[in-house]
Amino acid sequence: MDEHNQTDDLGPDPVNDLSKFSPTLRAVNDSMLEGLGQLADYFGYNKAMGKMYGALLLSPEPMSLDDLMAHLDVSKASVSMNMRMLENMGMVREAWVRGDRRKYYEAESDLWTILTNVLGSRELRDVNQALNVLESNISDLRESAAAMSADEQKLALFYIERIDRMKDFFRFAKLVLTSILERDKKINITDVKRIDIE
Amino acid sequence: MDEHNQTDDLGPDPVNDLSKFSPTLRAVNDSMLEGLGQLADYFGYNKAMGKMYGALLLSPEPMSLDDLMAHLDVSKASVSMNMRMLENMGMVREAWVRGDRRKYYEAESDLWTILTNVLGSRELRDVNQALNVLESNISDLRESAAAMSADEQKLALFYIERIDRMKDFFRFAKLVLTSILERDKKINITDVKRIDIE
């Protein structure tokens, strides 16, 4: 028996004993891994990457690369490549297992944390910068309009109208990003019932 | 003079006479084209594609491929390739210009319409389907728990907790998508001041 299962108090060994599970547990496990594989594929990543994340997410114990290979029937090369990508995206992390020198991994189970990692604050900064550019263009046009010819004033009004509509759009992007990034500080997402746009 | 400028009533010819504009109009035009070029680059598209969209957005008159080539100093091949991508994304459309057999284009100026085109309702359907899968997995686990061993019940509870957290996440994605897709029907986006997550 693997040493890392010695402290297992969460039922049957989820890593190797999947066949001993009740049919429902097996069906749910299959469904989740299949779904996460499709999701990874949807976003242009590797299907195996989604399945690996799913296997770790539904495992109460950390899993080694060997465990994942056996569980998912994928090659060593694919498992190690996908694990590096999952680590880079903050979706999994190394876990220490007593008495075992192999590397073990566990899933980051909070998808909000993952999204915040991936988005970072870079996107919010970029959106703010775009908003500043749009606003300063509008105010430049407004301030200079008096010194323009009548024809140029017409065009300036046209520019202002187009830029203003773009501003609304970036303002919405900013609101969505802000509510994601600040969520941990302010709100309990399980209580979200509605997004009001007002 | 090009025939398509005969009906121009919005000031100086925006296509060919940029040099005659006031310095502010020229500076704003530069700033917007540069910014949209960067934005296109940011999303993995071609910088010239963003600039072409910007040139059309800030032109009160439709522009031909030749106009865009002259205005932006890009090759014919690049202009036609990027125009095809812009058309496919619903960001530009063909415009008819009286007495001219060349193809002319104008920008879709409503970024919400563009986003709705790009997102379509496919993403919302996919998110709803994911939510259904997660919900049915949770209810399967709840219903079968009584027939499970104590160990399996522990694991079922663990599965339910993990899947439930994922459900919250997809529910938020659904709210954001719904508010974007239904925006036209319900709300005036210029009045948006806040997104409440409750």
Do A10 and A47 fall within a single domain? Answer: yes
| Half-sphere exposure for A97 (CA within 13 Å, toward CB) | 21
Which CATH number covers residue A44? 1.10.10.10
Do B101 and B76 fall within a single domain? Answer: yes
Strand B63-64 with A195-197, pairing: unpaired
Do A117 and A189 fall within a single domain? Answer: yes
CA dist A65 and B59 (Å) reads 57
**Mean of pLDDT values over A18-43:** 89
Of B147, B154, B183, the CB nearest to A11: B154
- Contact status of B87 with chain A (Cβ, < 8 Å): no
Please name the residue of chain A whose CA is at the shortest distance from the CA of residue B137: A28
Strand A104-107 with A92-95, pairing: antiparallel
Is B140 within a domain? yes
Which pair of tokens denotes residue A177? 């990003």
- In B1-124, the DSSP E strands lie at 63-64, 92-95, 104-107
The more confident residue out of B109 and B7 is B109
Confidence of residue A82 (pLDDT cuts 50, 70, 90): very high
Do A6 and A101 fall within a single domain? Answer: yes
| Half-sphere exposure for B36 (CA within 13 Å, toward CB) | 22
Is A198 within a domain? no
Q: Pick the last residue of a domain from A57, A79, A107.
A: A107
- What ipTM describes this predicted complex? 0.71
Domains held by chain B: number: 2
Do B78 and B18 fall within a single domain? Answer: yes
Do B44 and B61 fall within a single domain? Answer: yes
- pLDDT score, position B3: 43
Is B43 within a domain? yes
Strand A104-107 with B104-107, pairing: unpaired
CA dist A55 and A14 (Å) reads 9
- Torsion angle of the four alpha carbons B162, B164, B165, B170, in this order, in degrees rounded to the nearest 10: 130
**Mean of pLDDT values over B97-112:** 90
Is B187 within a domain? yes
Q: What is the pLDDT of residues B123-149, one digit of tens each?
A: 888 899 999 999 999 999 999 999 999
- Which of A89, A60, A35, A84 shows the shortest CA–CA distance to A76? A84
For residue B169, the chain A residues in CB contact (below 8 A) are: 111-112, 115, 189
The more confident residue out of B15 and B179 is B179
Is B144 within a domain? yes
Confidence of residue B113 (pLDDT cuts 50, 70, 90): confident
- pLDDT score, position B169: 86
Flag whether pLDDT at A169 surpasses 50: yes
Do B127 and B170 fall within a single domain? Answer: yes
Q: Pick the last residue of a domain from B107, B128, B149.
A: B107
Q: What residue numbers bound the domain in which B100 lies? A: 2-107
Do A78 and A151 fall within a single domain? Answer: no
**Mean of pLDDT values over A128-140:** 94
Is A67 within a domain? yes
Is B36 within a domain? yes
State the average pLDDT for chain B: 83
| This model's pTM is above 0.80 | no
- A22 contacts A55 by C-beta, under 8 angstroms: no
Helix (H, G, I), strand (E, B) or coil at A64: strand
Is B46 within a domain? yes
